[in-house]
Structure 1
Amino acid sequence: MKLDEYIGVIVKRTDLKLNNYYQKVCNPYNITIDQWMIFVVLWEEEGLTQNELAERTYKDKTNIARMLFLLEERGFIHRETDKKDRRSLRVYLTEKGRLLKDEVLPPSIEAYEKTIAGLTEEEVNQFRRTLNIIYENVKNF
């Protein structure tokens, strides 16, 4: 089998291009792709712990803590001690973090639509299912 026929190589090649493309979408807002992922999760549900954010963004806890520190310094989020577990911090958006959604989401959706151009809804759904199967096959290695 040739190198460019391996699924992992195709996925890696595509991942690099997607990350570069989506980072260009994020650049005007002075945020990284990883920070964008945190925002998307928090726009859906605030009050998550750092561990929950790490799980939902597929990032390690150390990187999440570092990113949250920067987002807090820039006034996008604030952290509060969990009332039930004083060792945990819960993450909330500030007004500035909530308002960013209206700026960042439209170009993000436009970028997503460009990414899937030429594919039917069923093809996109099948692609998601296929990637999730592959993920499940290798997640414990």
Structure 2
Amino acid sequence: MKFTFQDYISIKLHRTDLYLTSLIKAKLEPFNLAPEQNLIMMLLWEKDGLTQNYLVEKLDKDKTNIARMASSLEKKGFVKRIHCPNDRRSIRLYLTPCGEKLGEQVLPITEQFNETVCKGFSREELLQLERLLEKMNDNVRTCL
């Protein structure tokens, strides 16, 4: 069976990712926050004082990317980076009062975004989608 361009699931996933990124980017723009920076902020709003290494693992990004985004968030006044006293190589990110206030504005937007994306899906369908995406991720990871 010969596949056409539209038959490839990777193309469909890519298109969906572009739509999702475009929508969340537009919603975060008024807050001077990029979608990837928002991921760091969301983790910090859940638990303040995370290390950059934890963010690397949790977000599956390289150290340089996380360090760059953390630096940008610090310049914007949303976080403060502090070297751990017992390990000078380790850096923790802490929310500033401005970063905490930002969460009060942005978290409702991200919750509404998630509701929009998941609209019409049953709980079981969402769990199935998570399982399928994880299976795809595992397939790709074995090739890297």
TM range (shorter): over 0.9
Partner in structure 2 of residue 102 of structure 1: 104
**Alpha-carbon offset, residue 12 of structure 1:** 0.9
What one-letter code is carried by the residue in structure 2 that aligns with 1:23?
A: K
Poorly superposed stretches of 4+, deviation over 4 Å: none
Q: RMSD of the TM alignment (CA)? A: 1.2
**Alpha-carbon offset, residue 46 of structure 1:** 2.0
TM-score, L = length of structure 1: 0.93
**Structure 1 unmatched ranges of 5 or more:** none
Identity %: 40
Partner in structure 1 of residue 35 of structure 2: 33
Q: Distance in 2 between matches of 1:89 and 1:131?
A: 32
Matched-pair contact (CA < 8 Å) for 1:75–1:94: yes
Q: Trace 1:1-141 onto structure 2 (pairs within 5 A).
A: 1-140=3-142, 141=144
TM-score, L = length of structure 2: 0.92
Q: Distance in 2 between matches of 1:78 and 1:90?
A: 8
Q: Distance in 1 between matches of 2:107 and 2:89?
A: 33
Q: Distance in 1 between matches of 2:100 and 2:131?
A: 31
What one-letter code is carried by the residue in structure 1 that aligns with 2:80?
A: H
**Structure 2 unmatched ranges of 5 or more:** none
Q: Distance in 2 between matches of 1:52 and 1:39?
A: 13
What one-letter code is carried by the residue in structure 2 that aligns with 1:31?
A: L
Farther off after superposition, 83-92 or 123-132? 83-92
SS at match of 2:119: coil
Give the count of matched residue pairs.
Answer: 141
